[in-house]
Amino acid sequence: MFDAVTIMVGIVVGIGIFKTPSLVAANVDSGFAFIAVWVLGGAVTLVGALCYAELSAAHPHAGGEYHFLSRAYGRPVAMLFGWARGSVIQTGAIAAVAFVLGDYAAQLWPLGPHGGAIWAALAIVLLTAVNVIGTVESKLTQIAMTFVEVGAIAAIIVFGLFGSADPAAAAAAPSPAGPGAALGMAMIFVLLTYGGWNEAAYLSGELRDAPRRIGRVLIIGTAIITTLYVLANLALLGTLGLDGLRNSSAIAADMMRAVAGESGAVLVSVAIVAAAFSTLNATIFTGARVYYAMARDLTLLPSVGEWNARGTTPANGLILQGLVALVLVGLGSATRDGFQTMVDYTAPVFWAFLLLVGIALFVLRRREPDRELPFRVPLYPLTPALFCLSCAYMLHASLAYTGKGALFGLAVVAAGAPLLLFRRRAEAGETATAASAAHPAEARPAAASD
């Protein structure tokens, strides 16, 4: 359970906290509202985590959301999600994080005009190789990187809350960007920063005693993440002020420069590289599990549905995922802002399928009234209804505020429809992927994470 909580925290607490606070500050009209939206974002995340806890506890499986959608709507919908996740959602997220890592790494260790893209590609290759070698190796890497990352954020919190800013640096802050409070836009950036908590569902197939523990993993992880985000933003607000946040393009570096000088700014740049490295490793780790689950339902590429017993990983799925992510890095590097292109590419598809997962909780409760539920979402049906409404709002916002990349992402999902022609026929007595995508931990009891 410790490993699972660490992986969840490592996925979520990544590069977003170093980029989005300035965007949030530009859309609120007071310091109180600035902190309040981060608390609200944690509450929305907790509602989603509670819904996922019930689904993961009742249906533990390495396929995570793929498995939930398959049981609720049938394999065609699940396979379309698997395609969307493999070609848009997960690989787009991997490429986006890799771009941020590459941008900051290139500032510290330049590699020429295309240094950022080169670092991004190298990071994907390196971390994919670590994960192919084995679950234990990637798990230890993740734990080490997450502690470095959380330690760096803790340093920012301590310096910001208890340090004293340099008056000259504070005086050099630019003038306010203007009022323009827009709570809805602020929440878009806040929930983007909290994004990734749902990846814990993919650990339910490898977590010991998953039905009893997955709920605690999601709740504990969400509590840690919310605490870190609220304290970090209190520190940033206390040092730079709301106007300083609105006008900063590198809020963590500016804050550390104000309280610790130029060396502090360099230190936080290293911390951001570590944070992106941690997020990238955890996203690669969980992402390939859906390739494994989907390949078990297809007659196409059967080798991707094989589990590597030596390394206890879906090795072929990891390699395929890495290749797709590298293609997206190549495409993103040809645009003005690779990170923004990847956000546009993934957001609408992500929120559309997350909405379907929320509705699946209602469908499965109704269809399987006698199923034992080791964890029940509190205040049913209010809690999952709130989650579905949040997803619907974010789907609308992502379509309204993203660029052409969003339409390209939706087109790629539609292009995956022919995959349905290659789905395996369920044998008599099989339910969705319950039999076709075997629980990997059943064949590997000694390898399961605790």
Q: Which two tokens stand for residue 153?
A: 């954020």
CA angle 7, 345, 16 (to 5 degrees): 40
Average pLDDT for 240-258: 77
For 106-157, write each residue's pLDDT tens digit: 777 888 777 888 888 999 999 888 888 765 555 666 667 667 767 777 777 8
Question: In the chain, what percentage of residues exceed pLDDT 90?
Answer: 10
What amino acid is encoded at 405 in this protein? G
pLDDT exceeds cutoff 90 at 366: yes
- Please answer whether residues 181 and 191 qualify as being in contact, where contact means their C-beta atoms are separated by less than 8 angstroms: no
Instruction: Say whether 413 sits in a helix, a strand or coil.
Output: helix
Instruction: Say whether 277 sits in a helix, a strand or coil.
Output: helix
The CA-based diameter of the chain, rounded to the nearest angstrom, is: 75
Average pLDDT for 254-277: 75
Between these two residues, 450 and 400, which has the higher pLDDT value? 400
pLDDT exceeds cutoff 60 at 166: no
Q: What's the CA gap between 206 and 296, in Å, rounded? A: 17
Domain 2-423, CATH: 1.20.1740.10
Q: What's the CA gap between 245 and 23, in Å, rounded? A: 8
Between these two residues, 321 and 251, which has the higher pLDDT value? 321
Between these two residues, 364 and 255, which has the higher pLDDT value? 364
Average pLDDT for 353-370: 92
- Please answer whether residues 7 and 142 qualify as being in contact, where contact means their C-beta atoms are separated by less than 8 angstroms: yes
Q: What's the CA gap between 229 and 373, in Å, rounded? A: 32
Instruction: Write b or e for each residue in 408-447: b if 16 or more Cβ atoms lie within 10 A of its Cβ, otherwise e.
Output: ebbebbeebeebeeebeebeeeeebbbebbbbbbeeeeeb
Res 424: pLDDT: 63
What amino acid is encoded at 190 in this protein? V
For 66-106, write each residue's pLDDT tens digit: 888 989 998 888 888 888 888 888 888 888 888 878 877 87
pLDDT exceeds cutoff 50 at 421: yes
Average pLDDT for 307-316: 62
Q: What's the CA gap between 73 and 359, in Å, rounded? A: 10
Domain ranges within the chain, ordered by starting residue = 2-423
Q: Indicate the pLDDT class of residue 177, thresholds 50, 70 and 90.
A: very low
- Please answer whether residues 224 and 71 qualify as being in contact, where contact means their C-beta atoms are separated by less than 8 angstroms: no
- Please answer whether residues 282 and 422 qualify as being in contact, where contact means their C-beta atoms are separated by less than 8 angstroms: no
Between these two residues, 385 and 446, which has the higher pLDDT value? 385
The structure's pTM equals 0.73
Q: What's the CA gap between 3 and 336, in Å, rounded? A: 38
Q: How far apart are the first and last CA of the chain?
A: 5
Res 136: pLDDT: 55
- Please answer whether residues 328 and 91 qualify as being in contact, where contact means their C-beta atoms are separated by less than 8 angstroms: yes
DSSP string, 73-125: H-HHHHHHHHHHIIIIIHHHHHHHHHHHHHHHHHHHS--STTHHHHHHHHHHH
